[in-house]
Each structure stands twice: as C-alpha cells, then as structure tokens.
Amino acid sequence: MTTLPSKTEKKLGLVIDLDTCVGCHACVVSCKGWNTQNYGAPLSDQEPYGADPSGTFLNRVHSYEVQPLADSAKVQPAAQLIHFPKSCLHCEDAPCVTVCPTGASYKRTEDGIVLVNESDCIGCGLCAWACPYGARELDQAEGVMKKCTLCVDRIYNDNLPEVDRVPACVRTCPAGARHFGDLGDPDSDVSRLVADRGGMDLMPEQGTKPVNKYLPPRPKDQMDRSAEATQGEGDIDVLAPFLAPVAEEPKGFLGWLDRTLEKI
C-alpha cells in the first residue's frame, strides 16, 4: 500500500553537520560504490567517459555561499562557504509514497525507512516530481526509481563487523559530519545532537516533516570585529603564545657549535 503508516516504531535517519562538512564528496563516492553493488539495480552511468557524462546518484553534495548582512559590529562580514550533502530525508509525511500508482514506494512501519520495491516500479517518475529535495532519480539503464535506502542492507547486516553497521556515507565521512541513529528516541545520540545544536528541517513549509536533520554552521571567527572592539588586542594574540620560539638560544653541543661557527 502506498498510504503512509500513521506511526513508525523508530525514525531512523541522518543528522548532517553543516559546520564540519568539508565538501570532500567521499560520502557521494562510498554511497555510489556500496549501492551499485548491493540492494536493487546498479546505479548506472551514461557515457561515463564520453563528452556528456551523467549517472544515478543517491547522495549529492552542493556548495553554497552565504553572505551575512553587515551590522555595526561587522561592517564587511566575510562570506561563508557551506558544503551541503543531500540525500533522501525519509520524511514522516513523504509525498513520494502517496503519489505512487503501483505501491512500489513505501515507508516501513518498523523503522520509517522509505524504500522502492523495484520489481513493482513502472518508472513513471511521479514520485520524483513529488519530492521537493531531488532525492529520487530514475535510473536510465534500469528504468526504475532509485533512492537512498539508508543502507538497509548494512545497518541490519550481521555479516558485517558492528562498526560497519551504519550507512556507507556515515562510515566513510572523514570529518564526522554525518551521524546515523533513531531520531524518534529523544535520548539517542542523534536526538541529543539535534537538541544541542538546533537541528533544522529543510523546506519545512512543504509539510514533509523530514526525519533527517541538518545542524547549522556555527560562527566561524572574529576576523571582522570593528577597530573599537579589537582595541588593545594584537591581531594574532590568541595563537601568539603557541607560535613563540621554544628555545631562544641553542644549548649544549649545538650551542657550542653555534658559538664556535659564529667566531670563524
């Protein structure tokens, strides 16, 4: 059935930290690698070595520039560059599920993961039309809809070491910017992270109630404080103690060598 469950036992999802993401695209690569070899049809590429390459990806990283407004404290604030990974948000009120004419798209009652039963998908594309986030892509070779499975074939996989039982993107992220857990449990690590850091929804006005949350970037630095605010402080005073030479004069054998060579 493509009606949505009224309630799911768990709300498995991701918390993505926009403060720490460095935009390396490792999650994109590991996602494509895992999901092209496991659950469902492979993620095909068209003309991968040709003039106009394109392909199916379940996770893509955008980059945005944000220009803060000037105020009296910051006359000319520096623009921030924010890397922005985006995959399926496993919405509670997933519009992609209810539009499906065949019942191929469904949301699991046990953990809230939104999946596609590929043998039922007719490739009409309507679910991708209904998704505001661009999380679904019609595979051009297979003719069926592909989307993030939250690595359902990893997270419950007893054949993997326990440390690997998280989505491939989370496992690979070198910056620790992606976190996986149950967002329905207020005491879980991810829920506490969301509470501490003010985790937010994307496009809340679309009414999709996404499970995945994004942690907003924190203020980066104090470079733009006005002259008054920085008066009496050296430009690099915070780091200066660490940059000071640890030994002014060489001692011992090197000291003798230094002095001897000076005399020549």
Partner 1 sequence: MHPAPSVIVFTTLSGLGFGLLFWLGLGLPAVTGWTAFAFFAIAYLLAVGGLMASTFHLGRPERALKAFTQWRSSWLSREGWASVATLLVMALFGAGLVFADASWQPLGLLGAALALATVFATSMIYAQLRTVPRWKTPLTPALYLSISLAGGALLAGQVAMALVLLPVAAVMQVLWWARGDRALSESGTNLATATGLGSIGAVRAFEPPHTGTNYLLREFVHEVGRKHAQKLRILSLVLGYALPVVLLLLPFTHVFALVAVLSHLAGVAASRWLFFAEAEHVVGLYYGKRAA
Rule CB under 8 A: which residues touch partner 1?
1-3, 18, 25, 28, 52-57, 60-69, 77, 79-82, 84, 86, 95, 98-104, 120-126, 128-134, 137-140, 142-145, 200-207, 214, 216-217
C-alpha distances (whole Å) from 195 to each of 16, 87, 175, 183, 198 are: 13, 22, 21, 11, 6
**β-strand partners of 182:** 12
41 phi and psi angles, rounded to 5 deg: -65, 150
CB of 2 to partner 1, least distance (A): 5
Residue 46 CA to residue 84 CA, distance in Å, equals: 25
Q: Cβ distance 191 to 117 under 8 Å?
A: no
Closest CB 222 distance from partner 1, rounded Å:
16
Instruction: Output the smallest distance, CB 94 to partner 1, in A.
Output: 12
By beta-carbon proximity to partner 1, the closer residue of 5 and 165 is 5
The residue among 62 and 259 lying less far from partner 1, judged by its C-beta, is 62
CB of 181 to partner 1, least distance (A): 20
What the block records as the tokens of 150 is 């939250």
Residue with tokens 């939250």: 150
Side chain identity at residue 125, one-letter code: G
Q: Which is nearer to partner 1, 166 or 215 (CB)?
A: 215
Instruction: Considering the complex, state which of residue 52 and residue 249 has its C-beta at the smaller distance from partner 1.
Output: 52
Least distance in Å: CB of 205 to partner 1? 5
When the beta carbons of 138 and 160 are compared against partner 1, the nearer one is 138
The half-sphere exposure of 172 on its side-chain side, counting CA atoms within 13 A, is 16
